Amino acid sequence: MGSFVDLSVAEDFPLFEEEGTESPTLMLAAAAPPYNLFPEYFDLHAEMPIPGAGGPQPRVEIPRIRTTSDAGSIRSVGSDRLRATHACTKCRQRKVKCSGERPRCKHCLDFGLECEYVDGKRDRTRKEHEGLEKLCTEAIGLLKDVSLRAAPEDQRKIHHFLAKAEREYATLLSEPTSTPASPTLKRSHAAATESPLEDQKEHGEDLITAEVGSQGEPDKLDEDLTRTQESRATGFVGKNSELMWMRRLKMQDNQLSDQGDDGRAKNPYGPPGKSAEAADQRLQKSDTRRGSGNHSESNELISESTYHMDMENVFLRNHIDPYEMPLEDTGRNLLRLYLTTIQDTFPVIEKDTFTKQLLAYYDRRARGEPARPHFRWLGIVNLVFAIGAKLSHLLRAEWRADERDHLIYFTRARVLAFNGEAILMHPSLQHVQFVALMAFYFVTISHMSRAYSLCGVAVKDAIALGLHIRNEDPNLNDSKRETRIRTWWSLYCLDRLVTVILGRPSALRDHECSVPLPLPIKEDQLATFFANMATSDPPKSHGLEDLRQKSPASAAVSPLMHCVTGGEAAVPLNTDHFFKGRVELAIITGKVLTELYTASSGENSWHQAQSKIQDLVKSIDRWREKALPKEFDFSRPLAADGPFLRERLTLGFFYYSAKILAGRPFLCLVNDRIEHQTMQSKELNNKEARACVNAARAMVGLLPDKPDPAFLYKNGPWWCQIHLLMQAASILMLELSFNCGHMPHDKQNIVNALKKLGRWLHTMGKDNRAAERAFHHLSELAAKVGVDLTPPAVPLAQDVPDAKFPRHEPFLDPMQGMHGLHGVTDFMDVNHTFQPQYSTSVTQPFTTYDSMNYGTALPAYDEFGILTYASWPSALGGGYQNGFGGDGGQGQ
C-alpha cells in the first residue's frame, strides 16, 4: 500500500475573527483527532468528525504577540524561545536563524562575521515612498519659482499643470489607501483648497503688470525736459528718486481708493510680457487711466520739486591763477577734514602717498625752492581742498574763509586739468581720480546732474583702463593693484549713490565686472601684509579669497572676517572693513535698482515683482546679519564717544535707504488695483509696505532728538545727508497721504518722526542752502497731509552767538596780484567785484602768487603725477615750454 499524506488541521491557522472587538482576535476551532482522508481500509461503523457539525465548536484564543525590550526579538506564546523580528544580512544569506541582537547577533559573533541589518521590504517601500514624495514637493516648488521668471504663456502652462496635480491628489486623498498621506502634502493640499476661487481662476497678481505698484510706468516721460533752462538743469529723474515721490505727492488727487462703487478696479492695468501685443495693451490701459482722471498729470514740473542746487552757477568770472596754493596751515586743515570724513568711504586716492607728496611740496616752498608739480596732481589737490572747504563752512570752523572759497579751489582744478585739451586726452589713472573727485565735489554742493555726468566720464575712462576686471599682471605691484581696486570700488559706490538720488540708469553693469572686492586691510599695512603673504611657507595666496570675493555680481555676499591672518601678522577689525561692507551694500542696492526700477520692469507680473522684492529684502537682511561685523552694528545705541561711530552711522543710513528702495513699490493702493488677488498676495503687500515705513522711521531714529548738524557732519555721510533725510520724509508723507492704511495704529509715531525730520532740516538750513530748500518743500507737502512743520520763532543764525564756533574775520580777497587765465560768470553775484586787500592774516587761506621759471630739463613724474624729488632741482630751474609736465599733459 502506498503511504498517505496526513493533512491534519494546523494548530495556528486562523479560521474566525471575533466580532465587536477593536483589535481582531484570532480564534481557532477545537482540534479534532487526526484522521486519514485515504486510509488503507475504512471502518464503515466509525463516526467521522464533521467540522461545524453538532453546533458551535469550542474556540481557542491566540493572544497578541508581545515584543520584548531586547534586540528586536519576540517571545512565542507558550514558549520561552526568542525569535528575531528582523534577521541580519549574513544570517539571511546562510539561511540560519538569527538571534536579532544589536549590534551583532549571536551567530555572527560566534563565527566572527560582520553583522549588518538592512531594511526589510516594507521599510524600503516606505522610504522610497517618502523619497518620491520629497522629490515631488521640491519639483512643485521649483516649478513655482521658475514660473516667476517665465513668459506669460509658460506661466499659464505651469499653473495648469500644478492645478491638475492638486486635483489628482485630492482624488487620491478621497480614496481608501493603506499608505497614509504625509502631513506635508496634506498641508499643501489644504492651503491650495482654502480658497475655491483660486482653483477656478488664475491668481490676479499673475495676470497684471508690475506697473500696478508705486513705481508706475518707468518707461514713460510726461515732461519735455528741453523746454526751460530749469528743466534742462534738473534733467531726467527716475521713479526711484525721492524727487519723483515728492512730485507725485504734489499731484495727488486725495483719492484713497482705486475702486469703483461696485468694488472693481476702475483703473485697469495691462498684462505682463515682452511681446509687442502685451506692450500695446499696457499702453492702452495707461491711456485709459490717464483719461479717467485718477492719475491725471498736472503742470507740476520736476524742476519745481527739486531741492538740489543744479540751477546755481559754479563758474567764477574772476581771473584765477591755477598754480596758487593756500597757506600750509590752511592746507593741512582742509586735508585733515577730507581724510577724516571722506577717505574711508571714498578711497579714490592713496592717502599716505598723497599726504607725503603734499607735505613735501610745502616743505620745499618753505625753504624757498621753486616747486611746480604736475598739473593733474595740482588739480587733485585743489579738489581735495574744495571738498574740505565745503565741510569747513558746514562745521563753522573758526579757520574757515569766505563761503565761496570752495568754488575758487574748484575753478583752479578745472582750469588746470579739465580744460578743452585735458578732456580730449587719453585716459590715465590720475585723470580717473581727478574726474571722480570732481563728481564727488558736485555731490557735496548738491549739483547732482553735473555729478552724474562726470561720474559717467570717470567710469568710462576706468573701464578703458581695465579697472573693472581682475588684473593678473605679474609685474604689477600688489599694493598698487590694491590701490586700483579701491579706486574702482570708490567709483562704483559713487555711481550707485548718484543713480539712487536721481533715478537715472547706471553707467555700470555688474555682469561685466570681475574685479575682486577690496581687502579689509589698512592702507599703511598693505605692503607688510603682501610681503608676509609672499614669504610665508607655503605662500598664503588662498587667504585673499577669504577676504574678498571675485565678482560683484555674485548672489551671495560672503561674511566679513573680524581677524584674518596674513603671513605672520593678524589683521584686526578696522575702518577698511567698513569700506568693504559699504561696497557689498552698494552691490545689493544696484540689484534693487536693476530689478525694480528699469524701463523693462513693466514686463514682469506683479507676482514676479513680489518674488524679486522678497529676494532682495532677504539679501539686504543677510548682509546685515552675516556680512556686518558686530562692531559696526548700527541697531545698538549710538554713543558720541563710542568706537566706529562714523562707520556705524553711515552704514545705518545706507542700509535703511536700501530697505526703503526695495519696499517702495508696495507703498501704494495696490490691493485696490488687482482683481481676484489672492489673500496671500494682499498680506504680502501690506507686510512689505509696513517694512518700508518702518525703515524710514528707523532711519529717523539714528538722529539725536535735539538737532545738532555738526554731529551729523562729523560722523555721518554729510555729502548726501539731505538726500537720505528727504528719502525718509517722503516715505512718511506717502503713508500719511493714505491715512496710514498700512499702519493705522502708528499714525502719531509717523507724525512725530516727520516733525523730527522737519526740525533737523530747518536747523541744517541755516548753513546749507540745499537743506533750506528741502525744508521749504517738506513744509508744503507736510501741510497737505495735515502736519504743520512751521518752525518756532527763533533768532536768525547770525544773531545767535556760537561759543563752539567763534565768528571769523571778514574774508580778504585771495586774488591779489595774480595773472588770469580764464574769465567766467560769478556764482554768487554777477555784479560783485573783488577789492584787493593785501594782508597776511592767518584767516586768509591763499598765498600771493609766486612766479616761477620753467626748467629746461625734462621733469620726471611718479605714478601719481608729481615730480620726483631727484628731478626737482634740474626740472624747475629754467623755463619749460608748456608748463604741463614731462608727459605733455597726459599723465602717467
Phi, psi of 402 (to 5 degrees): -65, 155
- Greater model confidence, 414 or 191: 414
| Residue 599 confidence class, pLDDT cut points 50, 70, 90 | confident
Q: CA torsion angle for 801, 803, 805, 809 (degrees, to 10)?
A: 60
Contact 294, 255 (CB under 8 A): yes
Q: How confident is the model at residue 112 (pLDDT cuts 50, 70, 90)?
A: confident
Identify the pLDDT of residue 616.
95
Tell me whether strands 569-571 and 564-566 are parallel, antiparallel or unpaired.
Answer: antiparallel
Residue 110 is predicted with a pLDDT of: 87
DSSP state at residue 452: H
Please write the tens of the pLDDT for every residue from 712-756. Answer: 999 999 999 999 999 999 999 999 998 898 998 999 999 999 999
- In this predicted model, which residue has the larger pLDDT, 847 or 252? 252
pLDDT for 329: 93
Question: Any idea which residue has 516649478 for its cell?
Answer: 143
CB 413 within 8 A of CB 443: no
Give the integer Cα–Cα distance in Å for 432 and 447.
19
CA–CA gap between residue 712 and residue 310 (Å, rounded): 24
Q: What is the mean pLDDT of residues 397-412?
A: 91
How does 258-279 read in b/e, with b if 16+ C-beta sit within 10 Å? beeeeeebbbbbbbbbeeeebb
Of 17-31, 201-215, 596-610, 662-676, the one with minimum mean pLDDT is 17-31
In DSSP terms, 861 is beta-bridged to 867
Name the region of 70 (left: φ>0; alpha: ψ -120 to 50; beta: rest).
beta
Helix residue ranges, H only, 148-182: 152-174
Answer yes or no: is pLDDT of 404 > 90: no
Residue 874 confidence (pLDDT): 37
3-state SS, residue 566: strand
Contact indicator for 200, 658 with CB cutoff of 8 Å:
no
pLDDT of res. 770: 95
Which range among 30-39, 480-489, 519-528 has the greatest average pLDDT? 480-489
Of 256-270, 321-335, 830-844, the range with the lowest mean pLDDT is: 830-844
- Is pLDDT at 41 greater than 60 in this prediction? no
pLDDT at residue 816, as a whole number: 33
Q: For position 82, what pLDDT does the model report?
A: 59
pTM value is 0.69
Q: Which amino acid is at 59?
A: R
Average pLDDT in the 197-225 region?
Answer: 73
Q: Judge whether residue 293 has pLDDT over 80.
A: no
Would you call 605 helix, strand, or coil by DSSP? Answer: strand
- The residue type found at 605 is S
**Mean pLDDT score, 454-478:** 93
Q: What is the pLDDT of residue 419?
A: 84
Residue 419 neighbours by CB distance under 10 Å: 15
The larger pLDDT score, comparing residue 355 to residue 290, is at 355
The pLDDT of residue 707 is above 50: yes
> Cell numbers 563710542 label which residue?
642
Q: How confident is the model at residue 186 (pLDDT cuts 50, 70, 90)?
A: low
Residue 254 or residue 61, greater confidence: 61
23 or 751, higher pLDDT? 751
Mean pLDDT of all residues belonging to the chain: 74
Give the three cell numbers for residue 339: 581724510
Quick one: cell of 151? 513668459
Distance from the Cα of residue 288 to its chain's centroid:
36
At residue 217, does pLDDT exceed 70? yes
The mean pLDDT of 540-567, rounded to a whole number, is 40
Residue 158 grid coordinates? 505651469
Name the β-bridge partners of 448.
none
- Check: CB of residue 810 under 8 Å from CB of residue 400: no
Query: Does 295 have pLDDT greater than 50?
Result: no
Q: Mean pLDDT, to the nearest integer, of 581-587? A: 94
138 confidence band (pLDDT: 50, 70, 90): confident
Tally helices (H) and strands (E) across the chain: 28, 7
CB 447 within 8 A of CB 456: no
d(CA 816, CA 562): 53
Distance CA 39, CA 7 (A): 12
- What does the pLDDT read at residue 840? 32
CB 238 within 8 A of CB 502: yes
pLDDT digits (tens, 9 = 90+) for 471-497: 988 888 888 899 999 999 999 999 999
Give me the pLDDT at residue 130, please.
85
At residue 7, the 3 state secondary structure works out as: coil
* Per-residue pLDDT, 60: 64
- Average pLDDT, stretch 580-601? 92
Mean predicted confidence (pLDDT) in 799-821: 32
The better pLDDT of the pair 874, 391 is held by: 391
Write down the pLDDT at residue 523.
78
- What per-residue confidence (pLDDT) applies to 715? 93
Q: Which of 79-88, 232-241, 459-468, 781-790 has the lowest mean pLDDT?
A: 79-88
231-248 mean pLDDT: 91
pLDDT greater than 60 at residue 553: no
Residue 805 pLDDT:
30
**Predicted pLDDT of residue 536:** 61
DSSP conformation class of 538: S
Higher-scoring residue by pLDDT: 380, 640 = 380
CB 418, CB 442: distance < 8 Å: no
Q: How do residues 607-635 score in pLDDT, each as one tens digit? A: 888 999 999 999 999 999 887 888 888 98
Summarised one tens digit per residue, pLDDT across range 322-343 is 899 999 999 999 999 999 999 9
What are the tens digits of pLDDT across the range 745-801?
Answer: 999 999 999 999 999 999 999 999 999 999 999 999 999 999 998 876 433 333 333
Whether 168 shows a pLDDT value over 60: the answer reads: yes
pLDDT tens for 46-57 read 455 555 455 555
pLDDT at 449 over 70: yes
pLDDT at residue number 220: 79
The contacts of residue 330 (CB under 8 Å, 6+ apart) are: 399, 401, 845
Confidence at 468, pLDDT banded by 50, 70, 90:
very high
Q: What is the DSSP letter of 30?
A: P
Beta strands in 262-417 (DSSP E): none
User: What is the rounded end-to-end Cα distance, in angstroms, of the chain?
Assistant: 121
At how many degrees (to 10) do helices 152-174 and 183-192 cross?
Answer: 120
Measured CA to CA, the distance from residue 375 to residue 786 in angstroms comes to: 55
Q: Which of 711, 724, 758, 597 is nearest to 655 (CA)?
A: 724
The 8-class DSSP code of residue 623 comes to I
Inform me whether the pLDDT recorded for 299 exceeds 60. Answer: yes
Lowest mean pLDDT among 86-100, 231-245, 255-269, 627-641: 255-269
Question: If residue 199 lies in a helix (H) or strand (E), which one and from where to where?
Answer: helix 196-200
CB 467 within 8 A of CB 515: yes
Q: Is residue 11 pLDDT above 80, yes or no?
A: no
Q: Is the pLDDT of residue 265 over 60?
A: no
Strand order of the β-sheet with 16-17 is 16-17, 26-29, 59-62
Helix, strand, coil percentages, rounded to 5, for the chain: 50, 5, 45
423-446 per-residue burial string, b: 16 or more CB within 10 A, e: under 16: eeeebbbbbbbbbbbbbbbbbbbb
